[in-house]
Amino acid sequence: MFEPVVAAQPPMKDFRLSSGKVLPTTPVFDIYWRFAFERQEMFYRRVEGAQPPWTTDPILRAYRFTNPYRAADRVSQYLIRHVIYDGDQSAEEVCFRTLLFKVFNRIETWTLLKEQIGTLSWRSFDLKQYDAVLGEAMRTGAKIYSPAYIMPSPSFGSQRKHTNHLHLLKKMMETGLPEQVASAKSLKDVYLKLRSYPSLGSFLGFQFAIDLNYSEVMRFSEMDCVIAGPGARSGIRKAFLDVGELSDEDIIREVTEAAEREFSDRGLEFRKLWGRPLQLIDCQNLFCEVDKYSRVALPSFEGGGRTRIKRRYSASLSQIPQWYPPKWGLRVPGSFSQSKNR
């Protein structure tokens, strides 16, 4: 296990690109790999039944960080198992359920809607009914949006954010988004289509594309493309002294493709997700998490302007059965999963 005082680590060599050129790095780049390793060890210790704390690292024990693999996070696991693969598998209904869930990105909001409405489907969608349920929840003080990231309100004429989002969902469905997703030629095509809708933008557009790609409606590789979010861009600024003419997306791809080498150079035996290597979306997320981690570990490194981590960590003993898209073919041991993964 690594110490949080990363400055005490031996200096690493600059990062070698696939072209043979090298980029000068900072100690934050070393944190990137050690963080990924230790956070993945925490994940495996938990699913293997070890008791908390799952790390001796004081920063990882104090603050909340996502798993190295995006699909392994609690909300993604719920989305994959209980939203995407639970119900009608037509493109229309899968897209509706996925987008409805992701607009709020909160498990409690999804379960509330199911309890009050029943089966959640585009075929029976009544905007006023959904609006009434969410409005009443807000009136009683319930939170209906996840704090994970900001969901800007689209302009559909309502003073209430959730009402505008329901109108956005309705517009997406009525303008044929499911059919366009199902007939798309690439992950980037889906991202560009999603980005074109009001208030989504580049970050949310790409995140939603990745979520839809967990389903059978799309079958694109997560190595097809990536879009850097604001947190990842900040993490990249901290990790490299100079990236030359490379874009943030270029950096993420180079780092992803060099992962095995970088772990090996540090003597770290990174445990993949039951054989699945880190993908572009995972390494994008890791830059975001390392940006947060370095705010405490190396506060002198400036990135996006944020200086603290808001969300504290509290260990939970509840087990989360591991369930991944069957098309990935992961061989998850039965003790870790109640899925039908093959």
pLDDT digits (tens, 9 = 90+) for 225-253: 999 999 999 999 999 999 999 999 999 99
pTM: predicted TM-score of the whole model, two decimal places = 0.92
| Angle between helix 230-239 and 280-297 (nearest 10) | 60
Compute the distance between CA of residue 340 and CA of residue 342 in angstroms, rounded to an integer. Answer: 6
* 340, burial (CB in 10 Å: exposed 0-12, middle 13-18, buried 19+): exposed
pLDDT band at 194 (very low <50, low <70, confident <90, very high): very high
The 8-class DSSP code of residue 130 comes to H
CB 169 within 8 A of CB 159: no
Q: What is the pLDDT of residue 307?
A: 59
CB 259 within 8 A of CB 223: no
Beta strands 15-16; 22-23: pairing state: antiparallel
pLDDT band at 5 (very low <50, low <70, confident <90, very high): very low
CA dihedral 261, 266, 267, 270 (to 10 degrees): -60
